Amino acid sequence: MVKDLIRRILLVLFLSAAAVNLFSLPAVAQEPQLLLILWHGMAWEDVKISPLYNGGMMALGTMNTRIGGGDPVSGAYLTIASGSRAFGVEGAAGMLHTDELIYGMRAADIYALRTGQQPSEPEIVNLKIASITGAFAQAKYPLEVGALADRLQAAGLKTAVFGNSDGKDGRTRWAALVGMDSSGKAASGLVGEELLINSSDYPHGMRTDYQRLFQAVVAADADLAVIDLGDPYRYTTYAGFLVPEQRETIRRRMVAEAWDFIQMLHNALPNAVLLIAAPYPSSERADSSQWLAPVVIVGKEPGLLSSGTTKWPGIVSNIDLAPTIVGLLSADSGVMLGRSIAVEAMDTKAAMAVIEVVEQKFFWINQYRSHVLRFLVGFQVILYLITLALLIIPKVLPHQFVRLVQLCLLISLSLPLVLLVLPQDWYWPAIVIVSLILLHSRYQNQLVSIMVVAAATAALIVVDVLRGSEWIRYSFLGYDPVGGARYYGLGNEYMGILIGSAIMGWALFRERMGKRARFTTVIDLVLFLAVTAVIAAPQWGTNVGGMIAAICGFGLAWLLAHTRLSWPVSVVVVGLAVAAALLGLMYFDGGRPEDMQSHIGTTTDLISVNGLEAAKEIIIRKLNMNLRLLRYSIWSRALLIAIAAMGTSLIWPSRYLQWLLRHHHDLVIGIAGTLTATIAALLFNDSGVVAAATCSFFAATTMLTLALSLKHNLLPAESHIQEDANR
């Protein structure tokens, strides 16, 4: 009995001890859930040789890589780390383990001297954190150093960094730069020289030890692993020393080894999402200012990538990577300006075909855009100067010559419409021009032709916006995804054209209606509200400055046409309408899901977080942009010549204004509304010079065309008025 009791007691003690030991064992290291793989200069031909691509396992997108300013390469990596366009600092990627030596001192000691903080042993430190913080301070929008790492740390998530792009001339650790927090420290990882193998047949005589890098990543106790492949950057910096054949040989080998490494990671961590991005485009693209580079996701459904920033399947921005990572790990993105990337399901190779077509169009438009716009503005300036000369000279010229000049003015007025339909096929612009010539020969009164052009231009722009802006996207007067200023909705160029053409087309139509126009009060109001809604509605891409300009121009025109309110009262009414529309739009768009919000929703969030300081920064940014455009943009010349043309036409022929008020009252209302919208567009848009120039286009051309008719006796029914005007 005693022995049995002792055995039972010993058994209980043994089992208790085993249980205690079992539950006190250290936790199994957390495998990375997300791998951010940085492939410097990756090109689509590199992607196509991957087994993951040929196996249909990729979601693809082309990524805009523009930054806020400064050193372009480091700025591209800092942008990924911030979720907003960052400012680059040369040498920013020279991060070090605390025990690495530089200038004969430990990195930990230098960091402590420069920051007053003592780093812990596993941390990796950035000795240029003061310079980076100082560069970021110049931003007039939310921009935080290390926002990605900070957000993950706040959510209790771990970040680790691996790999380096070191060369013979210095240390370059892009992964550590992307994974560092606001204090300039990366919590853990391996980025030192032990990841390199000396090899004379590789650029700089060294290559990445992919086996050791693989072991370090797989064993990482982290939620996010940021990985720098290393060899692609070293290849980029060394390619200029290689003859073409050798350059291609080394590139093919480098790409194959990189995909072998990525395939190993995918096999070892099958549940992890792989986000493979080129923070900076290939040398060929960068040299041509083609700021688009591939981004690939493996571990999600195959298809096209898009985001709330672009609202364009196949296109994302570099500011979207940090919010995407934070979102995949279920953390809060804070005030990052980017939006999470989503996948539109599609076969991988079909997605590649879409992207190739889109990029081809982008690059072609980007290559010739400045030439086309310079021709457009130059043609307008020369034509206006010729017209002004014909108004100033005292002699009445032959009718055929004046009619030819008027035809040229009409053709110039149709150019925005021509550029809108040009991407569809060559015969659409031809149809427009032939129709104009027929209109010109059919009607002696040029106001009819101008009315048709204005109405057609406004109608087609509205139709295109409602169908997703497919024409505007690929127009020379549309926005530029390569530049990254805007990706969807109605850009400032066509916004100004829409408002100007809508007002002048409406005014000239009222001229044709005569006294019957008195009964169109409600119809006119509905028309103006509909066009304003197209400009303002978030689902079509809010243009807030355009909405304000539209309300000012449309509102004043409608009040002058249908009420007897005085000018001061009309201005107050329009101001109240603008305030109400802004508040309503901010409330509506700010309440929508983050990925569906447009610019106004983002602005609302910023103001709610930072208060009036955010509003002040937005105003300052817009003013600075307009001042730059006034000094350097070709659109400033277009705006100035349009203003000069309208002003001069009121002097020659004499009494022109009185004649307009007496015989073309509705036209004067349209001109007043257009000028009001022009001023509002100039004041309330960050590229207001562009919007103002295009908005004034229709009013200025109409005034000049009619002034020519009056000056050179093309209005025989009113010859007595012309003689009086010519005195």
Band (pLDDT 50/70/90 cuts) for residue 630 is low
Residue 41 pLDDT grade (very low, low, confident, very high; cuts 50, 70, 90): very high
Banded pLDDT at 486 (limits 50, 70, 90): confident
Is the Cα torsion angle 372, 704, 545, 540 positive or negative in sign? Answer: negative
Q: Which two tokens stand for residue 51?
A: 């087994």
What is the average pLDDT across 60-85?
96
The chain-wide mean pLDDT, for the chain, equals 87
Band of pLDDT at residue 145, cut at 50, 70 and 90: very high
pLDDT band at 15 (very low <50, low <70, confident <90, very high): very low
489 or 33: which leads in pLDDT = 33
22-36, 383-397, 538-552: least confidently modelled range? 22-36
Q: Indicate whether 620 and 671 sit together in one domain.
A: yes
Question: Are 290 and 366 part of one and the same domain?
Answer: no
Range of the domain at 49: 36-346
Among 226-230, 287-291, 646-650, the least confident range: 646-650
Specify the pLDDT at position 623. Answer: 67
Cα–Cα distance measured from residue 284 to residue 12, given in angstroms and rounded to the nearest whole number:
73
Say yes or no: 397 and 327 in one domain: no
**What's the rounded mean pLDDT across residues 485-489?**
81
Question: Is residue 16 a part of any domain in this protein?
Answer: no
Identify which of 371-380, 390-399, 485-494 has the greatest average pLDDT: 371-380
Whether residue 386 is contained in a domain is answered as: yes
Q: Which of 283, 317, 346 is the last residue of a domain?
A: 346
Q: Is the peptide bond between 72 and the residue preceding it cis, with omega within 30 degrees of 0?
A: no
Band of pLDDT at residue 606, cut at 50, 70 and 90: low
Q: How many CB atoms lie within 10 A of CB 463?
A: 11
Residue of 653 and 110 predicted with greater confidence: 110
703 inside domain? yes
Mean of the pLDDT values across residues 25-41?
77
Arithmetic mean of pLDDT, 29-39: 88
CB of 306 closer than 8 Å to CB of 313: yes
Q: Which long-range contacts (CB under 8 A, 24 or more apart) does 604-608 make?
A: 605/335, 606/141, 606/142, 606/335
Predicted confidence (pLDDT) per residue in 662-710, tens digit? 889 999 999 999 999 999 998 888 778 888 999 999 999 999 999 988 8
Q: Is 400 exposed, middle or buried (0-12, 13-18, 19+ CB in 10 A)?
A: exposed
Check pLDDT > 80 for residue 29.
Answer: no
pLDDT band at 335 (very low <50, low <70, confident <90, very high): confident
Evaluate if residue 614 carries a pLDDT over 80.
no
Region 54-75 average pLDDT: 96
Q: Pick from 70-84, 505-519, 641-655 the range whose average pLDDT is largest.
A: 70-84
Per-residue b or e along 176-207, where b marks 16 or more CB atoms closer than 10 Å to that residue's CB: bbbbbbbbbbbbbbbbbeebbeeeeebbbebb
Q: Do 132 and 82 reside in the same domain of the chain?
A: yes
What pTM, to 2 d.p., does this model score? 0.85
**547 and 398 inside one domain:** yes
Q: What is the DSSP string of 306-341?
A: EETTT-STTEEEGGGHHHHHHHHTT---TT-S---E
Cα-trace Rg, the chain: 32
Q: Give the closest residue to 547 by CA, choosing from 557, 537, 539, 556.
A: 537
d(CA 535, CA 677): 13
Alpha carbons 702 and 455: distance in angstroms, whole number: 14
Residue range 588-615: mean pLDDT, rounded: 61
pLDDT of residue 589: 66
Instruction: Compare 653 and 192 and report the one with higher pLDDT.
Output: 192
Q: Is the dihedral of CA 398, 402, 404, 407 positive or negative?
A: negative
- Confidence band (pLDDT; 50, 70, 90) for 207? very high
Whether residues 492 and 573 fall in one domain: yes
Q: Region 643-649: what's the mean pLDDT?
A: 82
Q: How many domains does the chain have?
A: 2
Contact (CB, 8 A) for 323 and 333: yes
140 plus 204 within the same structural domain? yes
Q: Which segment, 92-106, 482-496, 712-726, is predicted with the most confidence on average?
A: 92-106
What residues contact residue 677 under an 8 Å CB cut-off, 6+ apart? 499, 500, 503, 549, 550, 552, 553, 554, 695
pLDDT of residue 394: 83
Split at pLDDT 50, 70, 90, the class of 103 is confident
- Read off the DSSP letter of residue 517: G
Least confident segment among 224-233, 446-455, 536-545, 695-704: 536-545
d(CA 224, CA 228): 13
On the question of pLDDT at 72 being above 70, the answer is yes
What is the structure's pLDDT at 395? 85
Predicted confidence at residue 643, as pLDDT, reads: 86
Q: Is 351 domain-assigned?
A: no
Within a domain: 605? yes
At 314, the pLDDT band (50, 70, 90 cuts) reads: very high
11 found inside a domain: no
Lowest mean pLDDT of 198-212, 249-263, 552-566, 639-653, name the range: 639-653
Domain end point (choices 346, 369, 388): 346
Together in a domain, 332 and 455: no
Structure tokens at 454: 């204005």
Quote the tokens at residue 710: 């009056």
| β-bridge partners, 656 | none
pLDDT at residue 607 above 70? no
Mean pLDDT within 163-175: 93
**pLDDT tens readout for residues 519-552:** 789 999 999 999 999 998 877 767 888 999 999 9
pLDDT of residue 482: 86
Q: Are residues 157 and 191 in the same domain?
A: yes
Q: Is the pLDDT of residue 307 over 80?
A: yes
Asked if residue 618 and residue 538 are part of one domain, the reply reads yes
Q: Is 186 helix (H, G, I), strand (E, B) or coil?
A: strand
Q: Between 141 and 621, whose confidence is greater?
A: 141
Residue 612 has pLDDT above 80, yes or no: no
Tell whether the model's pLDDT for residue 633 goes beyond 80: no
What integer pLDDT is reported at residue 616 of this predicted model? Answer: 61
pLDDT mean over 368-379: 91
Q: Are residues 405 and 265 part of one domain? A: no
Residue 651 lies in a domain: yes
- Supply the pLDDT for residue 726: 41
575 and 718 in a single domain? The answer is yes
**Distance of alpha carbon 589 from alpha carbon 603, whole angstroms:** 10
In a domain? residue 4 = no
pLDDT tier at 600, thresholds 50, 70, 90: low
Last residue within a domain, chosen from 346, 368, 401: 346
* Three-state DSSP state, 718: helix
